[in-house]
């Protein structure tokens, strides 16, 4: 069997638990979901070095927004039925959406678009967004643990703190704090937090949010991060496309953020383009590609929805888990 045909057959087999749609098929599921963002707002929501065609907000993200509205409504009905059975009254717990995928795949853009679309549903839900970058151990600890070359791998996160954060959110605790991460200094910002106060919906974006692997035999038995999710999305793309996007982003950063003396990568702003390409490709292969293959990619099939991107950043396929 030719390599391309074999790859298609493999993808078809692994997606057997999913309903699979191309863009045209998926767009029909929008129904009467209204378009609530204009073109300027869409472009403002794009992540660094990502691109979203406004037309795909209508064909991809509006059907997804409609699906999520149905799921949130159904979860609310289940909540009410449970409390009726218990003979109690209780506030509905926040609905949590997890977004996973490789470095440079466009998780930030998807998270921001969904936040904006959901916030404009007719009942105006309160929608908060956090990234798990803030739960990375501070660089000082990563150096102490010998993990700087594994930053972004599951063991580089303070998983216990992230789980405690999500448990408080689900329990309806007021004013829950999450650490803030700076992509300029490549580290947590000491003493700075973001406060999440009883949202209707929380979006959690991060590399390893669907991870289930136990890090060591003596680790306390704790829930997985994904145990707190009501719905999960994985953004998928070929490794060759991801590498191209990563390298392009690195060069854009070299010409912008790296020029700031406060930048962790400031010393690389002045190196030649050839040197920068070698350095960036080394980072990709040693850290990000390795993490993708060992940890991030294997979680794809745990997601409720998979958005498959082509080399031009367009979403070409949507796979929805069968219920």
* Structural domains in the chain plus CATH codes: 16-321 (3.40.50.300)
The C-alpha angle 134, 138, 144, rounded to 5 degrees, equals: 150
Instruction: Give CA–CA dist 209/224, Å, rounded.
Output: 8
With a CB cutoff of 8 Å and minimum separation 6, the contacts of 112 are 45, 46, 47, 129
Give percent above pLDDT 90 in the chain.
Answer: 87
- pLDDT(266) > 70: yes
pLDDT band at residue 8 using 50, 70 and 90 as cut-offs: low
Q: What is the pLDDT of residues 13-50, one digit of tens each?
A: 789 999 999 999 999 999 999 999 999 999 999 988 88
**pLDDT of 323:** 86
Question: Could you please report the per-residue DSSP string of 197-224?
Answer: -S-SEEEEE-TTTT----S-TTS-----
Q: What is the pLDDT of residues 47-87, one digit of tens each?
A: 888 889 999 999 999 999 999 999 999 999 999 999 999 99
């Amino acid at each position: 069997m030719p390599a391309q045909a074999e790859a298609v057959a493999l993808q078809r087999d692994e997606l057997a638990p999913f309903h699979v749609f191309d863009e045209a098929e998926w767009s029909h599921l929008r129904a009467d979901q209204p378009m609530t963002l204009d073109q300027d707002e869409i472009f403002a929501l794009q992540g660094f070095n990502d691109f979203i065609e406004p037309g795909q907000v209508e064909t991809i993200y509006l059907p997804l927004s409609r699906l999520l509205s149905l799921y949130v409504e159904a979860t609310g009905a289940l909540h009410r039925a449970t409390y009726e059975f218990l003979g109690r009254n209780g506030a509905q717990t926040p609905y949590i959406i997890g977004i996973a995928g490789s470095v440079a795949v466009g998780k930030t853009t998807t998270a921001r678009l969904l936040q904006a679309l959901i916030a404009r549903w007719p009942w105006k839900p309160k929608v908060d967004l956090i990234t798990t970058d803030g739960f990375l151990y501070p660089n000082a600890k990563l150096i102490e643990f010998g993990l700087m070359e594994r930053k972004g791998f599951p063991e580089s996160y303070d998983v216990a703190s992230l789980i405690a954060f999500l448990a408080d959110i689900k329990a309806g605790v007021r004013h829950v704090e999450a650490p803030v991460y700076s992509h300029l200094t490549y580290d947590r910002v000491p003493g700075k937090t973001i406060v999440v106060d009883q949202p209707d919906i929380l979006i959690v974006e991060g590399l390893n949010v669907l991870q289930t692997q136990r890090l060591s035999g003596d680790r306390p038995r704790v829930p997985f991060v994904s145990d707190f999710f009501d719905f999960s999305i994985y953004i998928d793309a070929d490794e060759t496309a991801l590498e191209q996007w990563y390298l392009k982003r690195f060069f854009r950063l070299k010409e912008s953020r790296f020029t700031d003396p406060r930048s962790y990568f400031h010393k690389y702003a002045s190196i030649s383009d050839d040197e920068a390409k070698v350095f960036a490709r080394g980072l990709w292969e040693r850290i990000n590609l390795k993490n993708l293959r060992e940890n991030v990619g294997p979680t794809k099939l745990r997601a409720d929805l998979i958005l498959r991107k082509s080399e031009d950043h367009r979403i070409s396929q949507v796979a929805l888990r069968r219920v």
